[in-house]
Amino acid sequence: MTPLRLAVVGAGVSGLAAARELVRASGEAGAPAQVTVFESEERVGGRVLSAEVRGQRVDLGAESMLVRDPSTIDTLRSLGLDGELVRPGTTSASIWSGRRLVPIPKGTSLGVPLHPLQLEVIRLLGPLGSLRAFLEPWLLGPTVTPDDPLGPFLVGRLGKVAVRRLVDPLLGGVYAGPAELLSAGAVAPHLLAALERDRSLLRGLRRQPPAPPGAATGFISLRSGLQTLAEKLAEGLEPSALRLRTPVSGAWPGPWGKVRVEASQGSGEFDGLVVAVPAPAAAQLLQGLAPELARELRRQRYSNVATITLAYPESALSRRPPGSGFLVPRFPGRVVTACTFMDQKWPHLRRPGILLLRASAGGHGDDWPLEVDDATLVTSVHTHLRRHLGLRQVPLEARVQRWAPALPQYRAGHLAWRDSVEAQVATLPHPVVLAGAAYRGVGLEACLRDGARTAQALWQRLRSAAPIESRGHRGDGHA
Ligand SMILES: Cc1cc2nc3c(=O)[nH]c(=O)nc-3n(C[C@H](O)[C@H](O)[C@H](O)COP(=O)(O)OP(=O)(O)OC[C@H]3O[C@@H](n4cnc5c(N)ncnc54)[C@H](O)[C@@H]3O)c2cc1C
């Protein structure tokens, strides 16, 4: 039987999960398939990258995975990662108040303080800011639809100060974008669900059922760094199937309903194509095959960020601050947007005498880290960390990693945009699917799931599209 030829563009977590699923589905169906993964870089992983800093393998991109679905742990185990799984020593972070680090108040949901008169909330928002948020159950405020921006809704409910000092830093930590821009339904569906339970957002959130306890959910990472996840996903592929340093320049209609993939090497006709690259790159490579879809994909915007990992002598601090790190609200001249105390969050990274910090800089509309050289970036970050933490010595080692594009911005209207993209993909005359962080979640768990889900959709489509007949036209004589 002639194998189906399937192409995946992009060897990030989404593309690799898709490739793995295609291999699995073909094996299960006893229908041979040749899966080829094209990746422009010289390594797999995309926004996941682990590297040595001061002899420690640390993550310079994604550094933790929030597992909400217990089956994700089963997937990781099936990849042989059981012995690699690590849990954070602490996940309690702080926020920079302008003068000091204040622990994020307990019972905060994406920055919305459930109990605004708590001491920590007052320390962050001030008495008036806290009182304003506290009055929400009486004042109520605007309602919101899933495609509205989150910012105006939350400002109307809780006041500007709560959004600026609590919600924005937390959202920024995940999306590198502000509440005024991001889609309520895409980034905070639980806030909309709370409003269905009660007219008051705060009361609705307080009545939210607690997450079921279980060892199979929560934050995890891998002892050797999250890049091992990408490497393990890639291990399931034939060695010749992974084409690194091979950018795809375009996809075109091929004969017999196939897709012609133009790459720097290994161009050819494929029975199915998974496009698992950031939306602007997807737009570029689908321009010749689906110009309308390409136009739609171009509307997705990204933020750019840099991570700066710094190893200090432990004596640089007279006392380590507690917790996993801190977030910095937006203010003019902000340099560091967040800082993770890597060796406190991840105890396996702890080494005597060393303090391992990871700062983030940049984000939506703030591209300065891309425009300055490494030395300037490290010096600025160090200067600001000194202010936040009272560091008394300079770093022993620093590692800069710039990410552009880094994170898709799920702006107001994202859900409608995604529906429109999905509708266009479904009606394409060619077997093409889209996977990746641009569409259904930026987190690694979402990317793993999305890659597998879209690969399944492609596989079903190919299996139900009279494969015997189409393969009869292959002209390669291997019926
Ligand atoms: C700094 C940072 C920190 C993050 N932290 C976390 C975190 O702690 N937890 C979490 O869950 N998520 C985190 N994320 C988000 C998460 O890492 C990403 O959303 C996810 O890795 C995206 O995976 P992907 O496969 O969809 O895309 P990508 O990782 O972007 O992969 C796409 C791949 O396609 C390749 N490519 C692009 N164009 C072409 C082409 N024309 N031809 C061939 N190949 C091409 C790229 O080189 C890349 O390898 C973070 C992201 C960043 C940037």
Neighbours of 441 (CB within 10 A): 18
* Residue 306 shares a structural domain with residue 295: no
* Domain count within the chain: 3
Ligand 1 atom closest to Cα of residue 442: 19
Answer whether residue 87 is part of any domain.
no
pLDDT score, position 213: 67
User: For 345-389, what is each residue's pLDDT tens digit?
Assistant: 999 999 999 999 999 999 999 999 999 999 999 999 999 999 999
pLDDT score, position 469: 42
Answer whether residue 199 is part of any domain.
yes
CATH number at 458 reads: 3.50.50.60
Ligand 1 atom closest to Cα of residue 444: 11
Cβ of residue 10 lying under 6 Å from some atom of ligand 1: yes
Asked if 295 contacts 287 with a C-beta cutoff of 8 angstroms, the reply is no
Contacts of 368 (CB under 8 A, 6+ apart): 361, 362
* Residue 342 shares a structural domain with residue 295: no
* Residue 282 shares a structural domain with residue 307: no
User: Cα 186–214–233 angle (5° rounding)?
Assistant: 65
CA 303 to ligand 1 centroid distance, Å: 12
Environment class of 187 (CB within 10 Å of its CB; exposed 0-12, middle 13-18, buried 19+): buried
CATH number at 378 reads: 3.90.660.20
* Residue 262 shares a structural domain with residue 182: no
Ligand 1: residue of 21, 38, 47 to mutate (most ligand atoms within 8 A of CB) is 47
Answer whether residue 217 is part of any domain.
no
* Residue 133 shares a structural domain with residue 178: yes
Ligand 1 atom closest to Cα of residue 285: 41
Measured by CA distance, the residue closest to atom 48 of ligand 1 is: 46
Answer whether residue 81 is part of any domain.
no
Ligand 1 atom closest to Cα of residue 66: 11
Cβ of residue 446 lying under 6 Å from some atom of ligand 1: no
* Residue 463 shares a structural domain with residue 387: no
* Residue 288 shares a structural domain with residue 416: yes
CATH number at 131 reads: 1.10.3110.10
Cβ of residue 275 lying under 6 Å from some atom of ligand 1: no
* Residue 461 shares a structural domain with residue 394: no
Cβ of residue 362 lying under 6 Å from some atom of ligand 1: no
Q: Name the residue range of residue 433's domain.
A: 4-46+228-300+411-472
pTM over the 0.85 mark: yes
Cβ of residue 403 lying under 6 Å from some atom of ligand 1: yes
Task: Answer left, alpha or beta for residue 365, where phi above 0 means left and psi between -120 and 50 means alpha.
Answer: left
Cβ of residue 15 lying under 6 Å from some atom of ligand 1: yes
- Domain C-terminal end among 206, 239, 274: 206
Answer whether residue 415 is part of any domain.
yes
- Domain C-terminal end among 383, 408, 433: 408
Name the stretches of the chain with pLDDT < 50: 466-479
CA 420 to ligand 1 centroid distance, Å: 23
* Residue 376 shares a structural domain with residue 386: yes
Cβ of residue 437 lying under 6 Å from some atom of ligand 1: yes
Cβ of residue 311 lying under 6 Å from some atom of ligand 1: no
CA 402 to ligand 1 centroid distance, Å: 12
User: For 186-223, what is each residue's pLDDT tens digit?
Assistant: 999 999 999 999 999 999 999 988 777 666 779 999 99
Answer whether residue 99 is part of any domain.
no
Answer whether residue 214 is part of any domain.
no
CA 72 to ligand 1 centroid distance, Å: 18
* Residue 397 shares a structural domain with residue 420: no
User: For 2-35, what is each residue's pLDDT tens digit?
Assistant: 899 999 999 999 999 999 999 999 999 999 999 9
Handedness of CA 456, 461, 464, 467 (dihedral sign): negative
Measured by CA distance, the residue closest to atom 12 of ligand 1 is: 443
- Domain C-terminal end among 176, 206, 236: 206
User: How many percent of the chain have pLDDT more than 70?
Assistant: 96
Which among 224, 220, 223 has a CA at the least distance from the CA of 88?
Answer: 220
Cβ of residue 48 lying under 6 Å from some atom of ligand 1: yes
Answer whether residue 211 is part of any domain.
no
* Residue 161 shares a structural domain with residue 247: no
* Residue 153 shares a structural domain with residue 8: no
User: Cα 465–467–470 angle (5° rounding)?
Assistant: 100
